[in-house]
Amino acid sequence: MIDIGIVLEDMWSPIIFIVIVLLNLGLAYWLFKMGDPTYNKTEHSGEPFISGNRPPEDVRKIHVAGDNLFWGFTDALKRYFEPLIEGHTGRLNDYMYWVVITLAVVLVYIYLVV
């Protein structure tokens, strides 16, 4: 018979975790219920708020495009990223170089260490 204990390595139990999360959600809902129920929706509620400026008409312009996210991070680490991106040249010979170089390094390592 399979033993369905719930503790992995005496430290982690997803079921207990989920129960606690559900309890917290219940608590949050209870707090939410204690709020003022007389709030009424206006015409503009739910629209994006951009520092009080009028949002652009075209919905595409509201969304932040992929390359703009984490731009600061990638730009700050430019010197790390550029060689990596350029290293992936797409040239078949370069793919083979890397295999041969790795083979050489691993063999040298094995002969020196083992």
Residues contributing to the site for another protein (CB under 8 A): 2-9, 11-12, 14-15, 17-18, 21, 48, 59-60, 62-67, 69-70, 73-74, 80-81, 84-85, 88-103, 106-107, 109-111, 113-114
105, 98 Cβ separation under 8 angstroms? no
**Up-side HSE of residue 39: CA atoms within 13 Å toward CB?**
8
State the Cα–Cα distance between residues 16 and 66, nearest whole angstrom: 37
8 or 31, CB closer to another protein?
A: 8
| Cβ 2 to another protein shortest distance, Å | 6
58, 65 Cβ separation under 8 angstroms? no
29 or 71, CB closer to another protein?
A: 71
14 or 27, CB closer to another protein?
A: 14
SS3 39: coil
| Cβ 68 to another protein shortest distance, Å | 8
